[in-house]
């Protein structure tokens, strides 16, 4: 590919995400290149953080890899981002025809179905699935054909845990991918009553086994149960589970799991969001009363980590439905069972500051920052949140420190949490500080909480920082 001369611009895929994100980006780019009648190339990064990625490229056929893989990524100035979902096919062709053969362009949103405004979604999904099958590894296609016979009438539920609980991303402060195990239990019970054929996919089989014990139904696919005995590699097990999902009649998943979306796209089957299938009343109140029994079914090795992340996940999603005292309870529960989780430490630090306990707040945020820095080589989100909270705790007394914090936030590259929003949050406080030089009355906690609940704020951490701002003046 690199030696070819062409007058056409090239559609590029160069995603640095994990397997699901990379495979989606490659498929998206290839599908668009066919529709636009242009060249295609993909760069598969050799990322030292995730050495297993080199094996995962074998999801695609060797012929496809040999033809389209490039070993040097084009420089940023030669890559033009363009959201093809916003234009018609004719408009897109006009844009790409204006670029010469030395230039690359890419669609920045790899999670969205690549579809032009004048294209029917049903047709777009069908074409996507057919194109994917044409470039997948032949042995995987044979395996998929066998799996489809067994799972055609099943519902797949994807519990996204793995690296968010036991792996390298266990300090990634997630709001989109992670589904708390209690919500998953409620959903599984609901699906069992309606349709008994369910298969559950999880990066962490111990969690799925605990859910089996809780609802009394076998959920794990045979292939997953037998993976150890068959000495399957991580990639082999991962692709088997992907193809099982792609064989089912529907997938229930979290809102931002590229792995689930990939299965949905290649199988051309619907994906349903787990959070939309449930409601707050059936989760948080029930969870609070049953958490001891619920987590007793989990292996001791993962029990505390799952419970801590479950507590914070429920809080992240449903905080507008609960009283401030319950926020304390959720964060206290998370920190009690796992004293080394960045998000719960940050929330506890803010609450301690609201309560006037500066010493406790400082201790909590320092611990959060140390944990976050230990994961800095993998992702930046935990450090961004830790620094944001730290800024609020030192802002009155250490002006030189807060300037350094702002500079470091600017230098971070978070996956999920926006540094732009973090800096706006900081600026809002600084403006409020100026506005309140004449010193207005403090707002009481209950009033501040009710006001925040009625606002358009979506993140619990930013909401708590705003309460701190309101109650400090």
* Residues forming a β-bridge with 198: 155
Question: Do the Cβ atoms of 277 and 187 come closer than 8 Å?
Answer: yes
| pLDDT value at 441 more than 70 | no
Q: In the prediction, which pLDDT does 2 show? A: 46
Q: How many CB atoms lie within 10 A of CB 442?
A: 12
Which among 273, 269, 271, 274 is positioned nearest to 152, based on CA atoms?
269
Q: In the prediction, which pLDDT does 86 show? A: 94
Q: Which backbone phi and psi does 41 adopt, to 5 degrees?
A: -150, 150
Q: In the prediction, which pLDDT does 5 show? A: 47
| pLDDT value at 3 more than 50 | no
CA–CA separation, 271 and 51 (whole Å): 30
Residue 152 in 3-state DSSP?
A: coil
> Mean pLDDT over all residues of the chain?
87
Q: What is the pTM of this model?
A: 0.86
| pLDDT value at 62 more than 90 | yes
Considering the chain, what percentage of its residues have pLDDT values greater than 90?
Answer: 48
| pLDDT value at 200 more than 90 | no
The 10s digit of each residue's pLDDT in 96-121 is 887 766 689 998 888 999 999 999 99
| pLDDT value at 186 more than 50 | yes
The single-letter DSSP state of residue 87 is S
| pLDDT value at 397 more than 70 | no
Q: Which two tokens stand for residue 457?
A: 């704020």
The single-letter DSSP state of residue 463 is H
CA–CA separation, 176 and 199 (whole Å): 22
CA–CA separation, 237 and 223 (whole Å): 8
CA dihedral sign, ordered 444, 284, 250, 415:
positive
């Amino acid at each position: 590919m690199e030696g070819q001369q062409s007058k056409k611009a090239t559609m590029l895929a160069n995603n640095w995400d994990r397997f699901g994100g990379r495979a989606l980006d490659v498929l998206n780019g290839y599908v668009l290149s066919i529709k636009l009648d242009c060249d295609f190339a993909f760069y598969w990064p050799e990322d030292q953080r995730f050495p297993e990625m080199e094996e995962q490229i074998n999801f695609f056929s060797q012929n496809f890899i040999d033809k389209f893989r490039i070993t040097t990524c084009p420089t940023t100035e030669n890559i033009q981002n363009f959201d093809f979902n916003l234009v018609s096919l004719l408009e897109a062709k006009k844009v790409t025809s204006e670029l010469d053969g030395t230039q690359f362009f890419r669609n920045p949103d790899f999670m969205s179905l690549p579809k032009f405004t004048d294209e029917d979604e049903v047709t777009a999904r069908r074409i996507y699935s057919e194109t994917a099958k044409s470039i997948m590894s032949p042995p995987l296609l044979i395996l998929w054909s066998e799996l489809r016979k067994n799972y055609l009438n099943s519902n797949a539920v994807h519990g996204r845990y793995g690296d968010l609980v036991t792996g390298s991303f266990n300090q990634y402060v997630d709001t989109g991918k992670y589904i708390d195990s209690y919500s998953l239990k409620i959903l599984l019970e609901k699906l069992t009553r309606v349709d008994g054929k369910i298969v559950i996919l999880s990066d962490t089989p111990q969690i799925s086994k605990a859910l089996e014990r809780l609802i009394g139904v076998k959920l794990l696919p045979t292939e997953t149960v037998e993976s150890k005995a068959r000495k399957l590699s991580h990639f082999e097990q991962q692709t088997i589970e992907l193809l099982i999902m792609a064989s089912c009649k529907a997938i229930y998943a979290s809102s931002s799991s590229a792995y689930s979306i990939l299965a949905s796209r290649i199988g051309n089957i619907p994906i349903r969001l787990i959070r939309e299938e449930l409601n707050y009343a059936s989760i948080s109140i029930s969870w609070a009363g049953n958490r001891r029994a619920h987590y007793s079914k989990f292996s001791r090795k993962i029990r505390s980590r799952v419970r801590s992340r479950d507590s914070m996940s429920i809080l992240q999603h449903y905080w507008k439905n609960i009283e401030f005292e319950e926020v304390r309870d959720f964060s206290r529960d998370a920190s009690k069972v796992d004293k080394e989780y960045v998000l719960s430490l940050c929330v506890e630090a803010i609450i301690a500051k609201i309560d006037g306990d500066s010493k406790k707040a400082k201790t909590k945020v320092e611990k959060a920052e140390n944990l976050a820095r230990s994961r800095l080589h993998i992702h930046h989100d935990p450090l961004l949140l830790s620094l944001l909270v730290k800024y609020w705790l030192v802002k009155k007394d250490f002006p030189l420190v807060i300037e350094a914090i702002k500079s470091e936030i600017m230098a971070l590259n978070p996956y999920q949490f926006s540094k732009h929003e973090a800096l706006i949050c900081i600026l809002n406080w600084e403006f409020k500080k100026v506005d309140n030089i004449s010193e207005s009355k403090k707002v009481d906690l209950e009033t501040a909480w009710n006001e925040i609940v009625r606002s358009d704020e979506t993140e619990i951490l930013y909401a708590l920082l705003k309460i701190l701002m309101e109650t400090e003046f």
